[in-house]
């Protein structure tokens, strides 16, 4: 299901009158435009398999093994759910993401999923460490403002799951939770690494003046124009 010219034009029209602001840190930047995720998967051949008249969106990979669900009416804190069905040689796995996870960060995960890789995946905490996040004795990473935390949690058979939470700044991990992400123990490490690398990247994300962001996010007028934002999306 390639992205049509009409869909790209609709994206450009949405952003045409939004003055972009460079917004940081990324964990406080808000969700942004979910089409950063869905258009990328559509360009990779994923198709919508859900009711086209339903607010719920389910995209399925060409081999029908992977699926991404977006459920704006979810009864839980998870709005995005990424799944892989088991095969004869590989286990199934599951990851979920809260409503305010930046679309660009989730898009890094789906980009990694559709891009074959044979390289040995790095430790996801290496990217956080390189970006100046604090790594504690338990092997968890905290952002410089202490509002976001990445934890590696031991599971059975020496496996680990990954849990990420962002909170309102100023309260550490005790503040109101903004969003979460969870990767079960079978999720490929390279996908977790893609998420943490994009999340810890100090480069700002572009948001419109009235886009939803967290209290404490720093916004400065971006040197990028609305056309730059639309062109970057099309090229992606």
* In the chain, domain spans: 5-235
Angle, CA 125 vertex, CA 121 and CA 130 arms, to 5°: 105
Does the pTM exceed 0.85?
Answer: yes
Give the max Cα distance, the chain: 53
Of 35 and 209, the structure prediction assigns the larger pLDDT to 35
Is 37 within 8 Å of 103 (Cβ atoms)? yes
At residue 224, the pLDDT reads 84
Q: How confident is the model at residue 194 (pLDDT cuts 50, 70, 90)?
A: very high
CA 57 distance to own-chain centroid: 16
Among 6, 30, 1, 7, which Cα is nearest to 219's? 30
Is 111 within 8 Å of 40 (Cβ atoms)? yes
| % pLDDT > 70, the chain | 98
Q: How confident is the model at residue 64 (pLDDT cuts 50, 70, 90)?
A: very high
Strand partners, 205: 23
At residue 226, the pLDDT reads 76
Give phi and psi for 32, each to the nearest 5.
70, -150
Is 40 within 8 Å of 110 (Cβ atoms)? yes
Mean pLDDT of the chain: 91
Q: How confident is the model at residue 5 (pLDDT cuts 50, 70, 90)?
A: confident
Residue 58's alpha-carbon distances to 45, 84, 95, 102, 126, in angstroms, are 13, 13, 14, 19, 32
Q: How confident is the model at residue 1 (pLDDT cuts 50, 70, 90)?
A: low
Q: What mean pLDDT comes out for the span 105-129? A: 92
| % pLDDT > 90, the chain | 69
Per this entry, what is the length of the chain? 236
Tally Cβ neighbours within 10 Å of residue 39.
20
At residue 232, the pLDDT reads 78
At residue 154, the pLDDT reads 84
Q: How far apart are CA 115 and CA 117, in angstroms?
A: 6
Residue 236 has pLDDT above 80, yes or no: no
Residue 39 has pLDDT above 90, yes or no: yes
Q: How far apart are CA 153 and CA 138, in angstroms?
A: 10
């Amino acid at each position: 299901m390639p992205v049509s010219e009409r869909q790209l034009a609709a994206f450009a029209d949405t952003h045409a009158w939004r003055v972009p602001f460079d917004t940081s840190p990324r964990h406080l930047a808000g969700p942004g435009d979910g089409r950063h995720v869905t258009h990328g998967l559509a360009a990779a051949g994923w198709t919508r398999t859900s009711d086209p008249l339903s607010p719920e969106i389910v995209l399925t990979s060409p081999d029908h093994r992977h699926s991404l669900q977006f459920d704006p009416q979810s009864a839980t804190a998870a709005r995005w759910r990424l799944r892989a069905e088991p095969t004869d040689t590989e286990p199934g796995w599951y990851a979920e993401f809260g409503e305010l996870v930046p679309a660009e960060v989730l898009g890094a995960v789906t980009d990694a999923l559709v891009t074959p890789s044979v390289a040995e995946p790095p430790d996801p905490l290496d990217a956080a460490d390189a970006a100046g996040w604090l790594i504690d004795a338990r092997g968890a990473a905290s952002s410089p403002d202490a509002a976001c935390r990445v934890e590696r949690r031991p599971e059975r058979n020496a496996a680990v799951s990954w849990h990420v939470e962002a909170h309102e700044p100023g309260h550490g991990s005790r503040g109101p939770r903004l969003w979460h992400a969870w990767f079960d123990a079978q999720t490929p490490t390279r996908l977790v690494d893609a998420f943490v690398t994009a999340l810890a990247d100090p480069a700002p994300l572009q948001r419109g003046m009235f886009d939803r962001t967290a209290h404490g996010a720093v916004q400065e007028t971006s040197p990028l124009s609305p056309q730059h934002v639309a062109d970057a999306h099309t090229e992606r």
